[in-house]
Amino acid sequence: MQIRILAPHWGSNDLAPQAFIDKVVAAGFDGIEMSLPLDVAQRDDWLRRIADAKLDLVASQWETVFHPQFHEHRAALQALLHNACAARPLLVNSHTGKDFYTREQNEELLALADAIGREHGVAIVHEIHRSRFSGHPMLLKPYLDTLPGLTLTADLSHWCVACESLLEDQPQTLDVTLPRVRHVHARVGHAQGPQVADFRAPEYAAELAAHLGWWDRIVALRRAAGAPTLTFTPEFGPAPYTFNLPYTRQPVADAWALNVAMLGLLRQRY
């Protein structure tokens, strides 16, 4: 099984497309995870540059966060997923639904995503993320129980916050969740936040070990299933994910440097 490690566009949005792609190639990533412009000319320009650089693509959609009302959210999700799938990425990572929608509403959105993915022949996976239908293990579990085809992006840092723990008290949660994972956001969280200041620091050894243990299990499960590829995106983000010092607002760490360091760790481990 190939492990493909992607650079997040998040945090580098201010760079021109070619400048970002050159930065990704120089760092040694296998590809890019990004939300593609809805403007077809801009989208196709990105796709040409990515192809010319021989990089993989995971397309993401997160902009439904701007549409909290259900019918607007549904319309935005439909447009964004069609646009993402049209790029023929390895997969699409979707921020789907809301934690305050009814179960029926979230299931309607998941069914819509499934239909769009089948239409295009592209896998759409749904990110574990605060405020989405998957924002807490007990919110997600009913969907896992009734939707056998539901697949996930594991960003388990969000559950550390939601559960105020490293999930050590609920192994059964991981037993039913990890087999559904098809993509991993490799960011290290802690019980009070979705991103530690610097995962390399010794004070975060327990948090790093917990996340690595989860990722190890996901790799083993996908290998056992005969999957040809598993994708990881180191996803340490800009402020407010990266802490800023008060008053000066200087970041306590460089998010891009953390992502490159995580790339190195994943390469060595897998």
Which CATH number covers residue 69?
Answer: 3.20.20.150
Q: What is the DSSP string of 64-97?
A: GGG--SHHHHHHHHHHHHHHHHHT--SEEEE---
Domain range for 208 = 2-269
State the pLDDT at residue 126: 98
Asked whether the whole model's pTM tops 0.75, one would answer yes
Residues 216-246: tens digit of each pLDDT? 999 999 999 999 999 999 999 999 999 999 9
CB-CB contact of 130 with 123 (8 Å)? no
Q: In angstroms, what is the C-alpha Rg of the chain?
A: 18
**pLDDT value of residue 188:** 98
Residues in the chain predicted with pLDDT less than 70, given as ranges, are none
115-133: per-residue pLDDT in tens? Answer: 999 999 999 999 999 999 9
Cis peptide before 68 (omega within 30 of 0): no
Give the separation between CA 190 and CA 231, rounded to whole angstroms.
Answer: 23
What pLDDT, on a 0 to 100 scale, did the predictor assign at position 174?
97
Q: How many domains does the chain have?
A: 1
